[in-house]
Amino acid sequence: MDDNHLGGFLRARRAGAQPEDVGMASYGARRATGLRREEVAVLAGVNVDYHTRLEQGRERHPSPIRVRT
């Protein structure tokens, strides 16, 4: 049973966005559609390892969302 709802949400959103959608240049061939984890981490202002742990469900107490103004 998969209880990693946050990870599923993050993967779905990442797969549905293209670099051009967020103003990033696309470099090299992509094996899968969507943004790379590294690109999402840059956009979110978080460490790529932290983002990976969130997607994989290994981070059980994620930080609250903080909106930058």
Quote the number of domains for the chain.
1
pLDDT tens across 36-52, in order? 999 999 998 889 999 99
Residue ranges making up the domain that contains 9: 1-22+30-69
Dig out the tokens for 69 from the structure. Answer: 């103004």
In the numeric block, which tokens belong to residue 13? 């959103």
Helix, strand, coil % (nearest 5) of the chain? 45, 0, 55
pLDDT at residue 69 in the model: 62
pLDDT at site 1: 45
Determine the pLDDT at residue 33.
86
For residue 67, what is the enclosing H or E element?
A: none
- Element housing 37 (H / E): helix 37-44
What angle do the packed helices 37-44 and 48-56 form, to 10 degrees? 110
